[in-house]
């Protein structure tokens, strides 16, 4: 059995920056209540580790960021790497909260593209409904239309001077299909693909895998970029694909009788968690012993 550690994988620059900012905030405001508006990044182990250094979070997937903000009454609020709308920022300031913005620069770039174009034409934004990045971006102007799949395109009203852009963590394969269909309805649309480099190169690394029996993706089911790695692998025809949160979710049946097993991880997955999975599988490949560890190794950065 051969274990292939896919490169690149794991933390991206946006996630590293968000975690660094959170840690610095904890040091800077030791006597204030610090709350993250949502999950800092979509990984439960990261937000739990933040809690251990005194940083709480509020999350309810049924609530918008604006509604969630009602649950924060004092101290410091940290906006997540997924970006935040101006309306939320203004409301936080009105509430007298100290605001720390961990929005990823790649997401902010998309916000700027949307804001600028919305002054001269309509914007079609391809994204996931209910995802905080989409939620913030569609609020950048009134004439931004969210498209989540090919079926949504027919339901769009007549638009003028259309620009098409997208959530940074979508599948590089799925988005092309949606863009092709948009081009049929709006042939003159300007296309500005904003899948971020971190997402793109992690997906391309999976696309480039050869002769793999099984791909294990390490990450949180709430993480869009993590789930997309799984989808890409399925599209690639890799026979078996699994999404696990940590080494403790590994099952012997997943890897039994496999010759080449690849391991990758989403850009919000701590590298220590992925390393533990790879190390365990390598030991199993060498010894044949299946003795899962008692606990998960977490290193925030």
Residues that bind ligand SF4 (CB under 6 A): 12-15, 81, 104, 106-107, 168-169, 196, 198-199, 225, 267
Using DSSP bridges, classify how beta strands 2-5 and 55-58 pair: parallel, antiparallel or unpaired.
unpaired
Kindly calculate the radius of gyration of the chain based on its CA atoms and give it in whole angstroms. Answer: 21
Residue 115 Cα distances to 32, 106, 119, 127, angstroms: 34, 14, 7, 16
DSSP reduced 3-state for 274: helix
- Residue 204 DSSP one-character state: H
The tokens for 158 are 């007549």
**Minimum CB distance to ligand SF4 smaller for 24 or for 150:** 24
Q: CB of residue 166 vs ligand SF4: minimum separation in angstroms?
A: 11
**Minimum CB distance to ligand SF4 smaller for 95 or for 200:** 200
Q: CB of residue 30 vs ligand SF4: minimum separation in angstroms?
A: 27
Q: CB of residue 277 vs ligand SF4: minimum separation in angstroms?
A: 20
The residue whose Cβ lies closest to ligand SF4 is 14
Using DSSP bridges, classify how beta strands 214-218 and 260-265 pair: parallel, antiparallel or unpaired.
parallel
Q: CB of residue 137 vs ligand SF4: minimum separation in angstroms?
A: 11
Residue 217 Cα distances to 173, 176, 186, angstroms: 18, 23, 37
The tokens for 94 are 């009105």
How many Cβ atoms from other residues are within 10 Å of residue 267's Cβ? 29
Catalytic residue numbers read: 133
**Minimum CB distance to ligand SF4 smaller for 14 or for 38:** 14
Q: CB of residue 141 vs ligand SF4: minimum separation in angstroms?
A: 20
What does the alpha-carbon distance between residue 10 and residue 33 come to, in Å, rounded to a whole number?
30
**Minimum CB distance to ligand SF4 smaller for 97 or for 104:** 104
**Minimum CB distance to ligand SF4 smaller for 46 or for 153:** 46
């Amino acid at each position: 059995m051969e274990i292939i550690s896919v490169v690149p994988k794991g933390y991206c620059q946006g996630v590293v920056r968000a975690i660094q900012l959170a840690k610095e905030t904890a040091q800077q405001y030791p006597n204030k209540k610090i709350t993250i508006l949502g999950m800092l990044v979509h990984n439960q182990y990261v937000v739990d580790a933040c809690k251990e250094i005194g940083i709480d979070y509020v999350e309810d997937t049924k609530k918008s960021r604006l509604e969630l903000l009602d649950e924060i009454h004092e101290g410091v609020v940290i906006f997540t790497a997924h970006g935040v709308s101006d309306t939320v920022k203004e409301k936080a300031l009105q509430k007298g909260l100290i605001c720390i913005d961990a929005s990823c620069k790649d997401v902010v770039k998309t916000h700027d593209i949307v804001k600028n174009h919305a002054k001269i034409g309509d914007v079609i934004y391809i994204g996931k409904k209910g995802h905080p990045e989409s939620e913030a971006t569609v609020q950048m102007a009134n004439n931004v239309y969210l498209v989540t799949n090919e079926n949504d395109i027919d339901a769009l009203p007549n638009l003028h001077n259309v620009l098409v852009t997208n959530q940074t963590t979508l599948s590089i394969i799925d988005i092309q299909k949606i863009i092709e269909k948009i081009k049929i309805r709006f042939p003159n649309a300007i296309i500005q693909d904003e899948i971020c480099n971190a997402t793109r190169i992690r997906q391309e690394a999976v696309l480039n895998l050869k002769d793999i029996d099984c791909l294990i993706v390490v990450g949180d089911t709430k993480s869009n970029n993590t789930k997309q790695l799984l989808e890409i692998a399925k599209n690639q025809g890799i026979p078996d694909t699994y999404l696990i949160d940590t080494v403790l979710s590994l099952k012997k049946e997943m890897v039994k009788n496999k010759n080449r097993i690849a391991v990758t991880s989403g850009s919000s997955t701590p590298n220590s968690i992925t390393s533990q999975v790879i190390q365990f599988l390598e030991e199993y490949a060498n010894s044949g012993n299946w003795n899962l560890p008692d606990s998960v190794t977490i290193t925030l950065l």
